Amino acid sequence: MIPLATNPKFAILLPHTNKVLADVLKQASPEQLFQLKEGKDLKSILNSLFHAKIDNTKSDAVLLDILKNNGAFKSLGNFSEELKALLTTLKSEPSLAPKLLKLEAFLQPASPLDVPVLKEKIVNSGIFMESKLGSLLEASPSEFEERIGYDVKAQLLLLGEEIEELHPLNHEKFQTKIDQLVTQIDYHQLLSHLNNSNSLYFPFTWDQLERGSLSFKKSKGEKFYCEIDLVLKQYGKVDLLMALYENNQLDIQVHTQQGEFKTLLQEHLGELKRLLMNAGITPRSIRIYEASEVITSKMSAYTPEENSFHSSFEERV
């Protein structure tokens, strides 16, 4: 038997509970499996995963490469829209309608947006569920409900159990949609762990959004990095890279797929700078690039001068 840590945070590394990891391991080539652990058997691979997982390792890099280059995981869809569609369908089942309120509360439009709402969405996005459980081992029922009650992953898992118990019409279809949503959270949890960051889907409803994700990192030098990857229905792919340092100094790079969107952003730069200054943030540089342009110096939110980052999966925002 493979010795496993009892900390609930490590549930994201169990192939029988994390479907994304299970699929990654299935699709790994023999060469990649060999790199994961100097051997090709699954037991060796898992031993590599479950020992000393706080620091980045060679196995992390291999798994991250497989994860990022797997086409299936790039087309997981718009989480909020998929969740909204599921809840709309489930409302037709009278026995389930009262159990959907907490999941419905998570669905909010991207605008207006303020810091407390963004923090709440990140904390309850599901990527911290195991971390919350680990801190609630001796909590009272009321404390447990307060901390886990609106967590999206927890609520999806509970909903799946309710559907299994009540066995409504089309229950298999409902379970499939719930599995797809949980898999999307699993994907971001695993990506966060392997990339030593906090990665999550775009946690708001937005008519213009086809799909999107956010990722955050913090370096030991008190620098903060954020990457926002979006695919917009009208303007295609848009990537934003931001670095915050010295408490309020901000560098921004925007990479657009369409020149039309680049022009639109440039026309509103003055308004963006004004909003940042009103929030106490100084925009040191804002650079906008079109995909066809040759970029000689690209800021990366993941390769700053310091390569040592604080570990992810801590519920701090």
| pLDDT in the model for residue 291 | 81
- Averaged pLDDT, 5-25: 52
Q: Are residues 55 and 123 in the same domain?
A: no
Pairwise CA distance, residues 63 & 194, whole Å: 7
Q: Which residue has the tokens 């790199």?
A: 35
Q: Model confidence over 117-164: pLDDT tens digits?
A: 999 999 999 999 888 887 887 888 888 888 888 999 999 999 998 998
In a domain, 221, yes or no: yes
Q: Are residues 101 and 119 in the same domain?
A: yes
Q: Are residues 161 and 101 in the same domain?
A: yes
Q: Are residues 162 and 243 in the same domain?
A: no
Q: How far apart are the first and last CA of the chain?
A: 37
Pairwise CA distance, residues 135 & 316, whole Å: 13
In a domain, 245, yes or no: yes
Q: Are residues 39 and 66 in the same domain?
A: yes
- Averaged pLDDT, 203-209: 93
Pairwise CA distance, residues 179 & 299, whole Å: 36
Pairwise CA distance, residues 48 & 70, whole Å: 22
- Averaged pLDDT, 286-312: 57
What percent of the chain clears pLDDT 90, i.e. is strictly above it? Answer: 43
| pTM given for the model | 0.76
In a domain, 196, yes or no: no
> Whole-number mean pLDDT of the chain?
78
In a domain, 232, yes or no: yes
Residue of higher predicted confidence among 185 and 309: 185
In a domain, 142, yes or no: yes
Number of separate domains in the chain = 3
pLDDT at 316 over 60: no
pLDDT at 6 over 60: no
pLDDT at 77 over 90: no
Q: State the pLDDT confidence band at 4, using cuts at 50, 70 and 90.
A: very low
In a domain, 112, yes or no: yes
pLDDT at 83 over 90: yes
Identity of the residue numbered 12: I
Residue of higher predicted confidence among 94 and 45: 94
Last residue of one domain, picked from the residues 185, 220, 237:
185
Q: Are residues 69 and 84 in the same domain?
A: no
Q: State the pLDDT confidence band at 190, using cuts at 50, 70 and 90.
A: confident
pLDDT at 43 over 60: no
Q: Are residues 141 and 109 in the same domain?
A: yes
Q: Model confidence over 211-270: pLDDT tens digits?
A: 999 999 988 778 999 999 999 999 999 999 999 999 999 999 999 999 999 999 999 999
In a domain, 2, yes or no: no
| 257-279: b (≥16 Cβ within 10 Å) or e | bbeebbeebeeeeeeeeeebeee
| pLDDT in the model for residue 168 | 79
